[in-house]
Amino acid sequence: MLVNRVVYPPDLADRSAISPLLRRWLGALAGVLLGTVTAVSELLFSVLALLALGLARILGRRGRLLQSAVAETALALSELEIRRIARFHGRLHTDVLTPRRCRLYLGLRWSIGLLGIGVVLLLTLCLLVAGSMVSAWGLNGGWGLIENSDRVDSGLVAVAALPGILLIFVAVVGVAGVGSLDHWFVIHVLGRQSDRLLHQRVAELTSSRDHVVDAINDERRRIERDLHDGVQQQLVALGMLIGRARRADKPDKMHDLLAQAHIASQGAISELREVANRVYPIALDQSGLHAAIETMAQRASVPIRITYELTERLRPAVETVIYFVVSEAVTNATKHAFPQLVEVTVTHQRFDRVLATITDDGPGGADPSGTGLSGLARRVAALDGTLTVHSPVGGPTVVTASVPCG
């Protein structure tokens, strides 16, 4: 009888069981050591942030620079902590960071770093004491960190062995415990609990599915409207001109009608190209997002200033969404705001996101719940992105789209 049985050599079995555990513990130790270093900077930041925010409140508007500096520093330190914890203590998911939550996190997290310092010092002290006593006892030496009548004898080693082993075990487990506490705390303050994450994700996917269906229906109706009101009308006019030319009894009139028909055919072709380009621009596939935005800007009737800071191409779905956000925002601004200048910026954002910002110097007052902007919001939400519109009366109007690109 064949039995599916694999026997490992005892030493290999031990290594396969111990090595991953040892690697994880050493990783946790490295994370705790780095966390003790960052704890000092977090404690210093918390003190300085309190002073800076208090001074900013006294200064009023002139203190905005201080508030901005505190917010940027809090975001940067929190991002550094998230990377350290994800590297040494396990993967985690976080919400979009806000300065307030980051200040709360940093204001409490330094205590975990100090706990890590205590655990590491306890482990170091226990190992030093144990090492000195064992070496003195083994070498028949007369010096150790703990002695009995200036000697380290067998009786003293036997008495100190059990408490020493227990303390070393507690310190070793404490290192892993501090790492787990660090991981739990960042999830509790900045991240999302697994159950809540699951429920939130299901809700997001359900909403995104509905948004995708709505966006597709809106897109289909827009294409039908463009074809019916634009191309179809021009083709009807073209047919009428050709018909009149065929019925013309004078050569001059026939040539004149045919010339008008030729011009009408060119207009119909141009309109058809515009419709096809609005459905999906060929340049987006062939040359990428940067070239597609530049081509769109060249056709626009208002000056457009482009700042494009991406060095690599994005996923096709992300490029498509960013292009249509830029294109529709520029089109809306041209139709309704009559701006003197539209600025388009496409850049990287924290946590593997791409940020597109479209700013026009028009009179403002754009309605985010309008058909065009709400359609863009649904299209962006389908990729777990966010679209914000800031358009106070008097302008400027700023449309911002943030989309994950990882």
Confidence of residue 5 (pLDDT cuts 50, 70, 90): very low
Q: With contact defined as beta carbons under 8 Å apart, do 39 and 81 qualify?
A: no
User: What is the structure's pLDDT at 181?
Assistant: 92
What average pLDDT score do residues 96-112 get? Answer: 87
Dmax (CA) of the chain: 134
Instruction: Choose the weakest-confidence range: 12-21, 63-72, 88-97, 248-257.
Output: 12-21
Residue 344 has a pLDDT of 93
Average pLDDT of the residues in 328-353: 86
Mean pLDDT of 198-218: 74
Write the pLDDT tens digit of every residue in 261-307.
Answer: 898 888 888 888 877 777 777 778 888 889 889 988 888 888 999 99
Helix, coil or strand: residue 346: strand
Question: Average pLDDT for residues 330-345, to the nearest whole number?
Answer: 88
Which pLDDT band holds residue 16 (cuts at 50, 70, 90)?
Answer: low
- Euclidean distance between CA atoms 69 and 52, whole angstroms: 9
pLDDT score recorded for residue 195: 62
Question: Does the structure show a pLDDT above 60 at 14?
Answer: no
pLDDT at 192: 66
Q: What are phi and psi of 43, to 5 degrees?
A: -65, -45
pTM of the model: 0.50
CB proximity list for 217: less than 8 A, separation 6 or greater: none
d(CA 122, CA 128): 10
C-alpha to C-alpha distance for 48 and 90, rounded to whole angstroms: 31
* Residue 17 pLDDT class (50, 70, 90 cuts): low
Residue 345 pLDDT greater than 90, yes or no: yes
Ordered alpha helix ranges (H), 190-315: 194-226, 232-247, 251-279, 282-286, 289-299
Tell me the residue type at 265.
S
Ramachandran region, residue 96 (left: φ > 0; alpha: ψ -120 to 50; beta: rest): beta
Is a pLDDT exceeding 90 seen at residue 191?
A: no
What are 5's two structure tokens? Answer: 């049985």
Higher pLDDT, 403 or 195: 403
Give the rounded percent of residues in the chain with a pLDDT score beyond 90.
Answer: 13
Q: Which residues contact 198 (CB under 8 A, 6 or more apart)?
A: none
Alpha carbons 20 and 353: distance in angstroms, whole number: 33
Could you tell me which residue, 359 or 57, shows the higher pLDDT?
Answer: 359
What the block records as the tokens of 402 is 């943030």
175-196: average pLDDT: 82
Residues contacting 178, CB < 8 A, separation 6+: 28, 32, 35, 112, 115, 116, 119
pLDDT at 142 over 70: no
Which residue is listed with tokens 């790492």? 179
Mean residue pLDDT across the chain: 82
Q: Higher pLDDT residue, 89 or 276?
A: 89
At 211, list the tokens. 């948004």
Residues 6+ positions from 257 with CB-CB distance below 8 Å:
241, 242, 244, 245, 248
Q: Which of 155-164, 169-178, 199-208 has the lowest mean pLDDT?
A: 199-208
DSSP state letters, 153-207: -HHHHHHHHHHHHHHHHHHHHHHHHHHHHHHHHHHHHTB--HHHHHHHHHHHHHH
Q: Which residues pair with 345 in a beta bridge?
A: 307, 357
Q: What is the pLDDT of residue 308?
A: 92
Share of the chain above pLDDT 70, in %: 91
Which among 371, 347, 370 has a CA at the least distance from the CA of 358?
Answer: 347
Q: What is the mean pLDDT of residues 164-185?
A: 90
What CA–CA distance (Å, rounded) separates 177 from 224? 62
The pLDDT, as a whole number, for residue 372 is 75
> Any idea which of 110-119, 142-151, 219-228, 233-242 has the lowest mean pLDDT?
142-151
Give the least confident one: 7-11, 150-154, 288-292, 293-297: 7-11
pLDDT at residue 2 greater than cutoff 50:
no
At residue 262's C-alpha, the angle toward residues 256 and 267, to 5°, is: 130
Token reading at 310 = 């991406």
Task: Give the pLDDT of residue 295.
Answer: 86
State the residue for tokens 């935005």: 293
How far, in Å, CA of 103 to CA of 98, rounded? Answer: 9
Q: What average pLDDT does the segment 140-149 reach? A: 67
| Contact (Cβ atoms closer than 8 angstroms) between residue 358 and residue 338 | no
pLDDT of res. 141: 59
Distances (CA, A) of 250 to 243, 244, 253, 256, 258: 14, 11, 5, 10, 12
